[in-house]
């Protein structure tokens, strides 16, 4: 037995040999070498000789930390090494454990005893090893078992050990919050003095603790204040400042006291890190102190002037913290900010971009965007998209608040989408559609831009732009009446390269093409009606056989109407011509309609083109494409006959056919001309709850179900139609005629809201509910029949949202942007107050029940630096604070000086403690209990510590409550 | 140099991990302070500085002071420098464990624990001598003979 061990000891390869060996390997042979070494280690590590074992372990640790070789199999051997009496073995063992152990290491509990032994060791370095190890791997069990040992070490005579023990406390508290009971007092006492390493360590601990739950540390503010004033150690000062940033919002009086010393440090210190921390403290917490802000701004300016990119970045970063409230700070440094856009450091560029956008306002937006787009053209793809993204998000803020000239903005969108690196197709898509729906005046320009995008075959090759093209296609289909040349649009939509599009977008293309077809045919029929009416009215001499045909057709239509088939239609057929005629004079844009250039052949050509392109698609594997193609083809078949061979069938049955065709076209056109408008995200909220409706009390179980259908971003809207316009909407004058209708009824908005959420599951046929973006209903001739009721409701609804007093086109004043009142304007903000309300009410609830009434209001000055500071410590939380604070269970107890600080973790324990403490709070109802419990649970995650008052201390607190309630 | 990155982390400690990477991208030292087991996405900042051929990286939270961490890095490097006598990458390669021991004296639980270079140097030297004594004992001939004849 002895000899192999001896041999191994004598001839074992050391760490150096391994390192050298690995370094001499080619990268190809390295892994072979390593696996050979591992084999060797596996043998050696089993040796009974601890020297051999520990050397093997050290080699393994090396391979693990540099070459990421698994060493979990050796965890037991590591434990063997730390139990060696020799310090060198211990050290190797502890290193291995620190590097490789985790919560899930099975043997981790085995080290508990060894750790305890080492923590109690007379050799301070062994203690130190054990502390280091515990701070790294401490589990709940380990921390619980060893808390008392650590506590003893916190009073060690050796500074070196004491500060390590304090460092370990952080791990202890995190894993085993009950350790607070034992250690907290000691920790607070360690704050005495101002410059020893101990204070540095304690402040570090408090800095981390207060980040999670600042309120509990408020009573220590005087101590921290003393350190802030007295300490000369920059590291300590930085941490104290961090603590104060957390405390300041909780105690308004703190700020006044703190501003001076902080400004002092800012002026005097040479350490940039401290200056920066002061700046950050001021700009985040003391924004209302002007002199401090000015000083901070001056210091920031110094940072910006530095060559060091880090300082420049941090300076910009600090300004961006100031920007929302103190825009002057940005404007003062405008030059540097703009310059930094072309800095080589990406972080600086991003930061300055943010600031440039912060400076953008109505007046300089166009200029800013122009400059930025130029930068985008020159930049690398990432930054280019950052720029585009921030332009897009700035411009759409609060429903395009900053934009006055929408024509300009729409063309900017077009320009942006042509930037080669543009990957913002989706956002541009949303905005194009959004603007189309909200801003009527911009539609002609929008269609023009969309057309330019569509007819460019090159764009189809860029997958990032597909979404954008889908928006362009939708816009062209929806607002085709503003187009100068629908035929050209149609050709663009049906071009062969559309096969490059994903099928979901292709369906949009097809649907838009269909809309355009309907539009063209409809205007063709109108033209003819126009002509016929002229013929009949004026008894024209024109001998056009076609028109006489039509006249008969017309008569048939009228006979149909006489039967009461569709009263609306009869109106239209008489009114249309006049509308179109007058429209000519009014409108300044020569839209296609007014040119009246649709010839019979062009319709036939359109039909043929569509048929040609769509026929192959009726066999498409994608159901959406297939269905749409079939629908359109069916329609084409229906109307094509009389269009394709009018001359042959001129006499006989053509009349009937054409009537059918024109009527079908009329219906579908009616469907398509319904206007789409935005729907408020909060529409649902405005619906009052009917009296008889009994709501389930607890709906939390619904959350799981509804979570999946949560709406995307605030400010979003769906494309369902709240606005069912009259079917004759195709000229600008007519559009304007529709502005006045009555406000909506709740039920419709409820319906719309529901529809919006569950768009996919609605059947479009029932009420002729109008094309949504992605799933337009197929042409269903019967659908327009019973639209009237729904139409009225929808018109009402729409009117509520359309605050439209539009001026005629092209007037430079800002066009009307459809907004949906409060709901949409500030959806982001609306979330928070609600939450706060909840918790606030919970807090008040608790206070009323006499639970949490603690802090006696300002009876002592928190900054009392005299010997009575401990007394003052716990007493300056006032009523206001506790109400504002969200964490109900978190108000610091009014402690006895002896019990000092404590915390809690909010569950069962807490409750029992509380009821013990508040024996006089007998009025506490179950409800209240539950309520506050819930809140506490809600916050439980943040508060892992347990308020650890010993019961003895709790009793004397209760008298404070009535005081507080006064 | 400061870089903002997205890393999975939830952390109670200031410094979440320390990383030394060579210019060739080889890892020379890793030390994790935060348990990366229960993960939660949050934005953290990677602060790094290059000394000769080595990048010293430390990962901190968003609202931590980047400059302070740069100073900690520098502090670490100065102590290494003093300990190894103008430190170079090779020193750290061949004495990887010592680099860890030095780091352990500077940071505990992700917090700076000792801001005095002298103190750290003294502590490290004391431990080294302890190790040496232990080693000498272990490798003395009599010990080996005792082992062999056990």
For residue A668, pLDDT over 60 is answered with yes
Range with the largest mean pLDDT of A275-279, A522-526, A713-717, A865-869? A275-279
- ipTM score for this prediction: 0.88
Q: How confident is the model at residue A563 (pLDDT cuts 50, 70, 90)?
A: very low
For residue A77, pLDDT over 50 is answered with yes
For residue A554, pLDDT over 60 is answered with no
Q: What pLDDT, on the 0 to 100 scale, is given for residue A930?
A: 45
Across the interface, whether the CB atoms of A103 and B37 are under 8 A apart is answered yes
Report the number of distinct structural domains present in chain A.
Answer: 2
Across the interface, whether the CB atoms of A167 and B139 are under 8 A apart is answered no
Residue B106 or residue A925, greater confidence: B106
Q: What is the pLDDT of residues A20-72, one digit of tens each?
A: 888 888 888 888 888 888 998 998 888 888 888 888 999 999 888 888 888 88
Least confident of A135-139, A780-784, B9-13, B20-24: A780-784
Q: What pLDDT, on the 0 to 100 scale, is given for residue A96?
A: 92
Across the interface, whether the CB atoms of B94 and A276 are under 8 A apart is answered no
Rounded Cα–Cα distance for residues A433 and A476 (Å): 11
For residue A94, pLDDT over 80 is answered with yes
Across the interface, whether the CB atoms of A272 and B149 are under 8 A apart is answered no
Q: Which residue of B has its CA nearest to A246?
A: B63
Q: Which residue of A has its CA nearest to B96?
A: A62
Across the interface, whether the CB atoms of B147 and A9 are under 8 A apart is answered yes
For residue A925, pLDDT over 60 is answered with no
Q: What is the pLDDT of residues A254-294, one digit of tens each?
A: 888 888 999 999 998 888 899 999 999 998 888 888 888 88
Its pTM surpasses 0.80:
no
Q: How confident is the model at residue A909 (pLDDT cuts 50, 70, 90)?
A: very low
Q: What is the pLDDT of residues A809-856, one digit of tens each?
A: 444 567 777 676 544 444 433 333 333 333 433 333 343 343 333 333
Least confident of A408-417, A554-563, B53-62: A554-563
Least confident of A73-87, A121-135, A449-463: A449-463
For residue A699, pLDDT over 70 is answered with no
Across the interface, whether the CB atoms of B35 and A309 are under 8 A apart is answered no
CB atoms within 10 A of CB A464: 15
Rounded Cα–Cα distance for residues A583 and A526 (Å): 14
Number of residues that make up chain A = 966
Residue A903 lies in a domain: yes
CA distance B79 to chain A (A): 17
CA distance B83 to chain A (A): 18
Residue A117 lies in a domain: no
Residue A573 lies in a domain: yes
CA distance to A68, A118, A138, B77, per residue, from B102 (Å):
21, 20, 21, 10
Q: What pLDDT, on the 0 to 100 scale, is given for residue A701?
A: 67
Across the interface, whether the CB atoms of B108 and A9 are under 8 A apart is answered no
Q: What pLDDT, on the 0 to 100 scale, is given for residue A243?
A: 92
Residue A885 or residue A763, greater confidence: A763
Sequence-separated contacts (24+) of A530-534 with Cβ below 8 Å: A530/A576, A530/A577, A530/A580, A533/A577, A534/A577
| Contact residues on chain A for B127, CB-CB shorter than 8 A | 87, 91, 125
For residue A671, pLDDT over 60 is answered with yes
Residue of B25, B67, B98 to mutate when probing chain A, most A C-beta within 10 A: B67
Across the interface, whether the CB atoms of B147 and A163 are under 8 A apart is answered no
**Mean pLDDT on A706-724:** 45
Q: What pLDDT, on the 0 to 100 scale, is given for residue A524?
A: 83
For residue A749, pLDDT over 60 is answered with yes
CA distance A760 to chain B (A): 32
Q: Which residue of B has its CA nearest to A23?
A: B93
Across the interface, whether the CB atoms of A65 and B65 are under 8 A apart is answered no
Across the interface, whether the CB atoms of B68 and A280 are under 8 A apart is answered no
Residues of chain A above pLDDT 70, percent: 61
| Contact residues on chain A for B37, CB-CB shorter than 8 A | 102-104
For residue A374, pLDDT over 50 is answered with yes
Residue A222 lies in a domain: no
Rounded Cα–Cα distance for residues A706 and A696 (Å): 15
Max Cα separation, chain A? 129
Least confident of A32-36, A95-99, A217-221, A848-852: A848-852
| Contact residues on chain B for A272, CB-CB shorter than 8 A | 67
| Contact residues on chain B for A212, CB-CB shorter than 8 A | 12
Across the interface, whether the CB atoms of B93 and A280 are under 8 A apart is answered no
Per the CB < 8 A criterion, the answer to whether A670 and A784 are in contact is: yes
For residue A704, pLDDT over 50 is answered with yes
Query: Terminal CA-to-CA distance of chain B, rounded, Å?
Result: 58
| Contact residues on chain A for B26, CB-CB shorter than 8 A | 66
Q: Which residue of B has its CA nearest to A272?
A: B67
Q: What is the pLDDT of residues A196-207, one digit of tens each?
A: 888 888 998 898
Residues of chain A above pLDDT 90, percent: 6
Q: What pLDDT, on the 0 to 100 scale, is given for residue A545?
A: 40
Q: Give Cβ neighbours of residue A403 (< 8 Å, ≥ 6 apart).
A: A362, A365, A395, A409, A814
Given the DSSP bridges, would you call strands B107-108 and B54-61 parallel, antiparallel or unpaired?
unpaired
CB nearest B111 (choices: A167, A309, A310)? A167
Q: What is the pLDDT of residues B64-80, one digit of tens each?
A: 888 889 999 999 999 99
Instruction: Map residue B48 onto helix, strand or coil.
Output: strand
Q: Could you tell me how many CB contacts below 8 A there are between chain A and chain B?
A: 164
CA distance B68 to chain A (A): 5
Q: Three-state SS string across A626-682, please? A: HHHHHHHHHHHHHHHHHHHCCCCCCCCCHHHHHHHHHHHHHHHHHHHHCCCCCCCCC
| Contact residues on chain A for B129, CB-CB shorter than 8 A | none
Q: Which residue of B has its CA nearest to A19?
A: B94
Q: Give Cβ neighbours of residue A295 (< 8 Å, ≥ 6 apart).
A: A263, A266, A267, A282
Q: What pLDDT, on the 0 to 100 scale, is given for residue A275?
A: 92
Across the interface, whether the CB atoms of B150 and A19 are under 8 A apart is answered no
Least confident of A145-159, A215-229, A798-812: A798-812
Q: How confident is the model at residue B117 (pLDDT cuts 50, 70, 90)?
A: confident
Residue A876 or residue A142, greater confidence: A142
CB atoms within 10 A of CB A368: 19
Q: What pLDDT, on the 0 to 100 scale, is given for residue B35?
A: 61
Q: What pLDDT, on the 0 to 100 scale, is given for residue A219?
A: 87
| Contact residues on chain A for B65, CB-CB shorter than 8 A | 238, 242, 273, 276-277, 280
Q: What pLDDT, on the 0 to 100 scale, is given for residue B46?
A: 85
CA distance B1 to chain A (A): 6
Neighbouring-strand partners of residue B111: B108
Residue A917 lies in a domain: yes
Sequence-separated contacts (24+) of A554-563 with Cβ below 8 Å: A554/A529, A556/A655, A556/A656, A556/A659, A557/A659, A557/A662, A557/A663, A560/A663
CB atoms within 10 A of CB A816: 17
Across the interface, whether the CB atoms of B104 and A132 are under 8 A apart is answered yes
Residue A591 lies in a domain: yes
Range with the largest mean pLDDT of A682-686, A749-753, A777-781, B131-135? B131-135
**Mean pLDDT on A515-527:** 85
CB nearest B148 (choices: A2, A168, A272)? A2
Burial class of A174 by CB neighbour count within 10 A (0 to 12, 13 to 18, 19+):
buried
Residue A947 lies in a domain: yes
Q: What pLDDT, on the 0 to 100 scale, is given for residue A324?
A: 82
Extended strands (E) in A102-147:
none
Q: Encoding tokens for residue B40?
A: 């939660």
- Name the residue range of residue A505's domain: 486-606+621-628+654-667
Per the CB < 8 A criterion, the answer to whether A441 and A809 are in contact is: yes
Q: What pLDDT, on the 0 to 100 scale, is given for residue A354?
A: 86
Q: What pLDDT, on the 0 to 100 scale, is given for residue A544?
A: 39
Q: How confident is the model at residue A784 (pLDDT cuts 50, 70, 90)?
A: very low
Q: How confident is the model at residue A537 (pLDDT cuts 50, 70, 90)?
A: low
Structural domains of chain B ordered from first start: 2-148 (3.30.450.60)
Q: What is the pLDDT of residues A454-500, one digit of tens each?
A: 888 888 888 888 888 888 898 888 888 888 888 888 888 888 888 88
Buried/exposed A33-69: b ≥16 CB within 10 Å, e otherwise = ebeebbebbeebbebebbbbbbbbbbbbbbbbbbeeb
């Amino acid at each position: 037995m002895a000899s192999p061990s001896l041999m191994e000891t004598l001839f074992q390869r050391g760490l150096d040999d391994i390192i050298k060996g690995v370094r001499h390997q080619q990268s190809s042979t390295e892994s072979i070498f390593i696996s050979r070494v591992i084999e060797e280690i596996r043998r050696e590590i089993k040796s009974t000789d601890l020297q051999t074992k520990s050397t093997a372990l050290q080699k393994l640790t090396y391979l693990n930390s540099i070459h990421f070789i698994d060493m979990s199999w050796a965890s037991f051997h590591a434990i063997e090494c730390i139990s060696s009496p020799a310090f060198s073995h211990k050290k190797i063992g502890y290193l291995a454990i620190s590097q490789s152990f985790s919560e899930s290491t099975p043997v981790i509990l085995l080290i508990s005893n060894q750790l305890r032994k080492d923590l109690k060791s007379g050799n301070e370095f062994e203690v130190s090893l054990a502390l280091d190890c515990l701070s790294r791997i401490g589990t709940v069990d380990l921390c619980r078992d060893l808390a008392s040992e650590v506590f003893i070490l916190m009073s060690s005579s050796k500074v070196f050990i004491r500060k390590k023990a304090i460092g370990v406390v952080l791990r202890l508290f995190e894993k085993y919050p009950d350790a607070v009971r034992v250690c907290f007092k000691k920790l607070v006492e360690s704050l005495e003095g101002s410059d020893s390493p101990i204070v540095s360590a304690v402040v570090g601990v408090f800095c981390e603790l207060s980040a999670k739950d600042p309120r509990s540390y408020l009573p220590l503010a005087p101590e921290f204040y003393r350190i802030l004033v007295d300490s000369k150690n920059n590291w300590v000062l930085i941490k104290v400042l961090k603590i104060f940033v957390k405390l300041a919002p909780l105690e308004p009086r703190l700020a006044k006291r703190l501003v001076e010393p902080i400004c002092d440090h800012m002026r005097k210190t040479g350490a940039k890190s401290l200056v920066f921390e002061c700046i950050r403290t001021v700009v985040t917490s003391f924004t209302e102190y002007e002199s401090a802000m000015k000083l901070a701004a001056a210091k920031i300016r110094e940072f910006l002037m530095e060559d060091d990119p880090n300082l420049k970045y941090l300076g910009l970063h600090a300004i961006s913290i100031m920007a929302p409230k103190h825009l002057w700070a940005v404007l003062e440094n405008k030059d540097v900010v703009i310059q930094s856009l072309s800095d080589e450091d990406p972080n600086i560029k991003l930061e300055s971009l943010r600031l440039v956008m912060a400076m953008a306002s109505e007046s300089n937006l166009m200029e800013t965007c122009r400059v930025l787009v130029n930068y985008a053209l020159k930049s690398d793809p990432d930054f280019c998209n950052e720029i585009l993204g921030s332009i897009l998000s700035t411009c759409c803020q609060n429903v395009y608040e900053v934009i006055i000239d929408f024509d300009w903005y729409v063309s900017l969108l077009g320009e942006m989408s042509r930037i080669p690196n543009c990957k913002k197709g989706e956002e541009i898509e949303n905005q194009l559609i959004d603007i189309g729906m909200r801003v009527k005046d911009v539609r002609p320009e929008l269609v023009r831009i969309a057309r330019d995008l569509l007819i460019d075959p090159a764009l189809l090759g860029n997958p990032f732009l597909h979404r954008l093209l889908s928006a362009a296609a939708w816009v062209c289909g929806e607002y085709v009446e503003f187009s100068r040349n629908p035929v050209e649009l149609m050709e663009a939509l049906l071009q062969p390269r559309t096969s490059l599009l994903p099928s979901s977008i292709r369906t949009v293309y097809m649907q838009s093409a269909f809309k355009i077809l309907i539009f063209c045919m409809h205007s063709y029929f109108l033209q003819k009606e126009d002509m016929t009416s002229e013929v009949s009215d004026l008894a024209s001499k024109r001998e056009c056989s076609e028109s006489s045909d039509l006249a008969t057709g017309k008569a048939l239509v009228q006979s149909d109407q006489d039967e009461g088939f569709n009263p609306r239609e009869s109106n239209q057929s008489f009114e249309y011509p006049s509308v179109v005629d007058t429209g000519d004079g009014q409108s300044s844009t020569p839209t296609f309609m007014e040119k009246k250039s649709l010839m019979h052949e062009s319709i036939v050509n359109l039909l043929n083109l569509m048929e040609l392109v769509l026929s192959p698609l009726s066999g498409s594997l994608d159901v959406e494409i297939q269905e749409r193609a079939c629908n359109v083809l069916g329609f084409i078949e229906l109307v094509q006959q009389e269009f394709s061979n009018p001359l042959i069938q001129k006499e006989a049955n053509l009349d009937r056919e054409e009537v059918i065709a024109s009527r079908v076209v009329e219906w579908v056109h009616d469907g398509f001309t319904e206007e789409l408008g935005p729907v408020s995200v909060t529409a649902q909220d405005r619906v009052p709850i009917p009296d008889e409706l009994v709501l389930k009390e607890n709906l939390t179980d619904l959350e799981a179900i509804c979570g999946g259908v949560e709406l995307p971003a605030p400010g979003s809207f769906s494309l369902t139609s709240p606005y069912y316009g009259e079917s004759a909407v195709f000229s600008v004058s007519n559009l304007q005629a529709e502005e006045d209708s009555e406000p909506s009824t709740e039920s419709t908005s409820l319906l719309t809201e529901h529809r919006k959420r569950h768009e996919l599951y609605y059947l479009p046929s029932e009420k002729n509910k109008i094309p949504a973006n992605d799933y337009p209903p197929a042409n269903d001739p019967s659908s327009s029949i019973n639209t009237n009721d729904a139409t009225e409701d929808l018109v009402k609804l729409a009117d509520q949202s359309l605050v439209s007093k539009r001026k005629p086109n092209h007037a430079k004043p800002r066009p009307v942007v459809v907004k949906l009142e409060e709901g949409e304007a500030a959806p982001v903000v609306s979330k928070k107050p609600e939450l706060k309300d909840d918790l606030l009410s919970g807090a008040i609830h608790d206070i009323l029940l006499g639970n949490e009434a603690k802090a006696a209001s300002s009876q002592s000055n928190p900054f009392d630096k005299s010997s009575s500071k401990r007394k003052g410590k716990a007493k300056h939380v006032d009523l206001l604070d506790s109400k504002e604070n969200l964490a109900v269970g978190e108000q610091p107890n009014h402690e006895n000086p002896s019990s000092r600080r404590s915390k809690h973790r909010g569950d069962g324990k807490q409750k029992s403690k509380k009821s013990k403490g508040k024996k006089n709070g007998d009025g506490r109802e179950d409800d209240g209990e539950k309520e506050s419990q819930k809140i506490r649970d809600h916050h439980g995650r943040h508060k892992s510590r347990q308020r650890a008052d010993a019961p003895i201390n709790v009793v004397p607190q209760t008298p404070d409550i009535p005081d507080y309630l006064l | 140099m400061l870089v903002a990155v997205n890393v999975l982390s939830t952390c109670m400690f200031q410094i979440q991990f320390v990383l030394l990477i060579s210019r060739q991208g080889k890892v020379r030292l890793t030390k994790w302070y935060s348990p990366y087991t229960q993960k939660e996405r949050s934005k953290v900042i990677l602060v790094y500085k290059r000394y000769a051929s080595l990048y010293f990286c430390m990962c901190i939270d968003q609202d931590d002071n980047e400059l302070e961490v740069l100073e900690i890095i520098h502090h670490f490097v100065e102590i290494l420098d003093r300990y190894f006598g103008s430190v170079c990458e090779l020193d750290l390669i061949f004495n990887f464990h010592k680099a860890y021991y030095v780091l352990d004296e500077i940071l505990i639980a992700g917090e700076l624990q000792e801001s005095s270079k002298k103190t750290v140097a003294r502590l490290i030297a004391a431990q080294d001598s302890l190790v040496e004594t232990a080693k000498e004992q272990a490798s003395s001939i009599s010990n080996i003979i005792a082992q062999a004849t056990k």
